[in-house]
Structure 1
Amino acid sequence: MKIHIDIDCFFVSAARLQDASLEHKAVVIGGRSDTKIFSQDAKSQTVNFENSGSFVPTFYKAYEKKDDDIESFLENGRLRGILTTASYEARAYGIKTAMTLKEAKELCPELIIKAPNMSLYQELSHKLHDFLSLKIPLIEQASIDEFYGDLQGWIEDEDIAPFISNLKNEIKKELGLPVSIGAAKTRYIAKLATSWAKPFGCKVITPSDFDTFVNPIKVENFAGVGKSMRTKLHESKIYTLGELRKRRGTLESWGPYAKELYKRVNGESDAEIETKHKRKSIGISRTFDPLFDRVELKRRVSVLARHLSFAILKLDVIPTVFHLGISYEMNQKSHQNISLAELFTENKFNSLCQTLFKEADRQRRLRVIRLSITCSSFTRNSKKELSLIGFHDEQKMHKLTKSTHSLREKYGIDTLKWGSEI
């Protein structure tokens, strides 16, 4: 059997390890886009490549503890930011992830708001991974707070329930972290079982109770069913997983993704446990107050490009697909992509991002509230070959880029900046 382990309210649970007075109280962890990287006196960011997950950025600032964490989210007397994690006590008030802190505070005036501590989350995630590696032969870290394990040939099926119950209790005792664990024949159903085990529970799905468990669940509660797929399913009068399982022909007619989704729901498809993941893409984005000034926006594109360039060089990969996205006020969006199989240099990357911004900025009468840059299809993973046109000159620039990167590695990402940023 496969098992899925998920830390309950991870960021809140981490805060409670540092402050026991937060136990059994309505607590949330706030999140706010770090727009200080655009300021002239910006401090260097910490780069995270190891763990991912919701609200886990690639770039983040080291945590600075404050006596009152709510001050981190106050600006001119206004409470700014969104909610990244809520305790179960907070959820009882109707507070949900991604809700604004202002809305959450209105629902629960006694709500305790804590600032994030990414360094602590990374440390605890590593400790849990190391602990699980001692208990289970094959462990896959899916994100900063969730793991998969393969118990096939290690634990007999009839012993799965006591094994995961003991494992849950041992994690709580050794690390102080509450986890929920689901077990099933496939990783996808195991993850589904974890959702029903929360909080601090265990759920084993055997072949005999598969139908009883799976069929009543709403389609949107299955991992992989996004907004568009949910809409498509609902339009076809498919609201539960049981109804989906009866419509194999319908799903298969929608293409490969829907066909695979059917197999996952039906317990026919599984994937091996991957102990090591290869990163397939990397990106950076920032949300800020509505801004119309295109000169300043171009400057901010350069700042984001510089940070992302540092990460790409640190990963030692050559991306060949580039994406720049713009979010405007009034819920308008635009984006531009390009494929380019050439040696990576920071100078060329910055110019490329400026070109993508110019082409993507199709709503020039509107103010911009978000910029994002993503790079993918690394040459180590793609079948693309690098262009030989101008390769000699590109090698010189690549060497200069490497030298620049070495200085930033030693003294910080903000040691060297583009003139256009100042």
Structure 2
Amino acid sequence: MQSKARIIFHLDMNSFYASVEQAHDPSLKGKAIAVAGNPKERRGILVTCSYEARAKGIYTTMSVWEAKRKCPELILLPPNFERYRAASKAMFDILRSYTPLVEPVSIDEGYMDVSDVEMEQDPIAFAETIQNRIIRELDLPSSIGIAPNKFLAKTASNMKKPMGITVLRKREVEEKLWPLPVIEMHGVGGSTAKKLAEFDIHTIGDLANATPGILREKLGKIGIRLSERANGIDNRVVDPESVFDTKSVGNSTTLPYDETNIEEIEKVFRRLSKKVASRLDAKNLAGRSITIHIRDVNWKNKTRSKTVSNRLYNENEIFQLAVELFHASWNGDPIRLLGVTVNNVYDKGESVEQLSIFNFEEHAKEEPILKLVEQLQTKFGKDSIKRGIKVKKKASLESKTSFSKDFLDDHESR
């Protein structure tokens, strides 16, 4: 018996932050606006901009000063993350009213598996119903890609913006995707495209027809995965629970000036470490490794990582490891951007810390308490007393940024 064909939607909100601001203040509609950081500092970059701004040559990640030079009438707004989170939650609530199989992947995009939804219309008309409802109730534009898998749905949603609905079938991959440069394929960044070019892979078609053995040799497992995507193959399911699978917690910043002063650099690492530690604490997480990110004045990127034996969540430990990695790798070039990420995170309540000469005294102090707990459990039952309970902490301001997935905590109460 032939299995039922999958119908996957990928919904991508159009210029989300700017659109939310225009919905909040209708006087901004039809105007060139951008959400940006501090316009007085170079690290003020455009997080997003309206389509009216894009028509004037403005684009996301452009510096504030360059954007104002190019478009003097550009209206700059500071980010309002609580407003964006509220709009995101409302959007996903609408999607879940049609099917529970909704997988958020960022604050402004997500997948829906509508294969088993009883539709009174065809999938395109159904997508229009969802798109029009989001406009009617939230005043926010979106694009929807329709395909038999997640990769093709994601690709399709990018084909027509704003307010586009695009169908991409597997049989159309050769005609529509293969002629495109490989850099335009979802999942291929600049560094990967550069590696692929080294062995004469320049288009998505080149990637689709490359020898799998060569791809595995040059890129490892990711090479095989990209080859499958280029051929329209993607067996990933739409998983609503993946939203809670946090793998890393990090923070980065572009420096106001190209920096070579080690004291100033260490101050930046201190601030970043504090923010990362705050976010870990808010989510009751610890990690097993740390990575620092360095971008120099020539825009060359470098990362350095280290795995630790004990759980990593303390601000001072994160700072010391970050600085240690930096000193071991810095060649003296001026620094433009720094980042700190704690990886392989897990719930602190589920961890076991390895004893060492540095922490055994701390644990020894707890021994009488542990014996008392054991005695009470023996007398009254194992569940009569526990060492502690996990209290959901209120996330700090640092943990509610647009660039982390912390906003997805909003989905826990759905």
TM-score scaled to structure 1, two decimals?
Answer: 0.75
Which of 163, 185, 189 aligns to 2:152? It is 189
Q: Report the CA distance between 1:192 and its aligned residue.
A: 0.5
Distance in 1 (CA, whole Å) between partners of 2:18 and 2:331 is 40
Residue of structure 1 equivalent to 2:111: 148
CA-to-aligned-CA distance 1:44-87 (integer Å, 9 cap, x gap) = xxxxxxxxxxxxxxxxxxxxxxxxxxxxx136xxx862222122
Post-superposition CA distance 1:373-411 (Å, at most 9, x none): 110112569x9974232453455899xxxxxxx9x9799
Question: In the alignment, does 2:360 pair up with 1:392?
Answer: yes
- Return the alpha-carbon distance in structure 1 between the equivalents of residues 396 and 14 of structure 2: 37
Equivalent position of 1:258 in the other structure: 223
Gaps of 5+ in 2: 1-6, 367-390, 399-414
**CA displacement at 1:346 relative to structure 2:** 4.1
Which residue number corresponds to residue 370 of structure 1?
337
Q: Who is 1:319 aligned against? A: 287
Displacement of 1:12 after TM fit? Answer: 1.0
Superimposed CA distance per residue, residues 269-319 of structure 1 (whole angstroms, 9 cap, x where no aligned partner):
221112122110011222222333323432332332222222212222221
- CA 290–394 in structure 1, closer or farther in 2 if over 3 Å, else same: farther
Name 2:178's counterpart in structure 1.
Answer: 215
- Partner residue in 1 for 2:240: 275
RMSD: 3.2
Distance of 1:122 and 1:412 partners within structure 2: 13
Same amino acid, percent of matched pairs: 29
What is the distance in 2 between the residues matched to 1:139 and 1:234?
36
Q: Which residue of 1 aligns with 2:36?
A: 30
Superposition deviation, residue 355 in structure 1: 2.8
> Structure 1 residue 236: deviation in Å?
4.2
The answer to whether 1:342 aligns with 2:310 is: yes
**Aligned equivalent of 1:292:** 260
Distance 1:316 1:397 in 2: 23
Partners in 2 of 1:253 and 1:412 — Cα distance? 44
Q: Counterparts of 2:199 and 2:302 in 1: how far apart (Å)?
A: 30
Distance 1:204 1:308, change over 3 A: same
Distance in 2 (alpha carbons) for counterparts of 1:384 and 1:324 = 24
* Residue 4 (str. 1) matches residue 10 (str. 2): yes
Looking at structure 1, the residues matched to 157 and 325 of structure 2 have their Cα atoms a distance apart, in angstroms, of 42
Distance between the aligned counterparts of 1:312 and 1:356, measured in 2? 20
Q: Quick check: 1:116 aligned with 2:79?
A: yes
Equivalence for 2:130: 167
Counterpart Cα distance in 2 of 1:315 and 1:246: 44
2:57 is matched with 94
Cα distance in 2 for residues equivalent to 1:411 and 1:179: 30
- Distance in structure 1 (CA, Å) of the matches to 2:23 and 2:99: 25
* CA offset digits 1:166-189 (Å, max 9, x no partner): 111111111111010001011000
Q: TM-score normalized by structure 2?
A: 0.77
User: How far apart in 1 are the matches of 2:108 and 2:11?
Assistant: 8
Count of residues paired in the alignment? 359
For residue 23 of structure 1, report the CA deviation from its aligned partner.
1.6
- Runs of 4+ in structure 1 off by over 6 angstroms are 408-413
Aligned amino acid, residue 356 of structure 1: L
Which residue does 1:355 correspond to in 2? 324
Partner amino acid, structure 1, of 2:272: L
Counterpart-to-counterpart distance in 1, 2:59 and 2:95? 30
1 CA distance for matches of 2:34 and 2:44? Answer: 12
Per-residue CA deviation, residues 186-245 of structure 1 (Å, 9 max, x unaligned), is: 100001100112110101123454443333333211111111222233444444323432
Aligned equivalents of 2:397, 2:157: Cα separation in 1: 41
* Alpha-carbon displacement from aligned partner over 1:26-60 (angstroms, at most 9, x marks no partner): 2222235xxxxxxxxxxxxxxxxxxxxxxxxxxxx
How far 1:106 moved relative to its partner?
2.8
Change (3 A) 1:17 1:394: farther
8 Å contact kept, 2:294–2:337: yes
Range with bigger deviation, 148-157 or 172-181: 148-157
Query: Per the alignment, in what secondary structure is the counterpart of residue 353 of structure 1?
Result: helix
For the residue of structure 2 that corresponds to 1:340, the secondary structure is strand
Residue type at the aligned position of 2:203: T
Q: Return 383-392 or 148-157, whichever deviates more.
A: 383-392
Distance 1:113 1:178 in 2: 20
Q: Distance in 2 between matches of 1:290 and 1:147?
A: 37
